[in-house]
Structure 1
Amino acid sequence: MKRKGFTLIELVMVIVIIGILAAVAIPKFIDLRDEAAMAKCKATGGALRVALANYYANSALAGAAGFPASTASLTDYMQTAFDTPLVGATWDVSYVASTGVLDVDTACSI
């Protein structure tokens, strides 16, 4: 009489191999999530800089070149309103209205 199926040892070996693969793969996915959040933060910072340049250009065309008093005025120059880069995070943006210098690099820390 022939029996078809897997032995207990074969099943245990497959479970061990799957466990090892999962232990190796999961940390890589966690790093990818952090890297994606950092990339989103830097991209939003770049969009803010472009919006700042557009604001200055439009005000210069109107005859009163200048920068906005705060970054909240830049939402009219962006396709979508910018949000915080990470869940539960807050923006730490350094903006100087007199010179138009916008530093978002410090905001992009995990």
Structure 2
Amino acid sequence: IFYQNADNSIQSAGISGPFTVGTFEGSSLLVPANEVLRGTPIAATTLGNAFQGIRVYFVSPNYTLSEYVWTGTSWVGGPSCNSCITTNQFAVQPGSTVMYAMGNAAGS
């Protein structure tokens, strides 16, 4: 689960199973607060099994589409990530409240 924390950062939370029987395993910082627009919509995709090709999308404070990517061993993202969509500087309309993401395995 990805959510925006009260400090503006984006957190990743782990659950051990389905919500009806699973337990909260913990949460960790994914995106520092200075990279995230307050109230940003968040979208996530995955390719393959549940833990391959995870991509998390959000809006940065300068209203550009930003991305963090799970490489299989660690997260990469932020302004210095050359392989992330962030470097394309796609503008986001201020006030946008909805975001969705779709993956295409053939296009990856």
| TM-score normalised by structure 1 residue count | 0.25
Larger CA Rg, structure 1 vs 2: 1
Structure with more contact order per residue of length (Cα contacts < 8 Å, sep ≥ 6):
1
Instruction: Please identify which structure carries the higher strand content.
Output: 2
| TM-score normalised by structure 2 residue count | 0.26
Instruction: Please identify which structure carries the higher helix content.
Output: 1
